[in-house]
């Protein structure tokens, strides 16, 4: 009888430079953060935490058009750190009905 698992292989992932990844140990209910560049090696009771990020559809011809974001559009194992990694538009309306759009 043969199972689909190879007992001597380790699940690894090469984390790129300036990125962060979360690994969850479900036996001890602990989590750890790994900062790249690093080789992430999972233990026997660990798994990667999949990130669900909001995002918008990207159209190559309309790169400057801001579209509304949809929840859970992007699934990722890691997140790049730094100012260039994400953008958001926040619309604010004050009590005196002044509107402000922050980018």
pLDDT per residue as tens digits for the range 26-61: 999 999 999 999 999 999 999 999 999 888 888 888
Helix (H, G, I), strand (E, B) or coil at 91: strand
* pLDDT tens-digit readout, 60-100: 888 777 788 888 888 999 998 876 545 666 778 888 888 88
34: which strand partners? Answer: 21
**Is the pTM of the predicted complex or chain greater than 0.85?**
no
Structural contact between residues 76 and 51, judged by C-beta atoms closer than 8 angstroms: yes
Cα(29)–Cα(14) distance, rounded to whole angstroms?
A: 24
Task: Please state, in angstroms and rounded to a whole number, the distance separating the CA atoms of residues 28 and 69.
Answer: 36
């Amino acid at each position: 009888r043969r199972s689909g698992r190879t007992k001597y292989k380790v699940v690894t992932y090469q984390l790129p430079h300036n990125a962060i990844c979360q690994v969850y140990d479900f036996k001890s209910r602990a989590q750890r953060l790994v900062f790249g560049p690093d080789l992430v090696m999972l233990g026997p009771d660990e798994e990667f935490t999949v990130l669900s990020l909001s995002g918008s559809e990207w159209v190559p011809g309309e790169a400057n058009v801001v579209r509304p974001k949809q929840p859970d559009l992007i699934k990722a194992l890691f997140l790049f750190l730094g100012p260039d990694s994400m953008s958001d538009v926040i619309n604010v309306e004050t009590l005196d009905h002044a509107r402000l759009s922050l980018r």
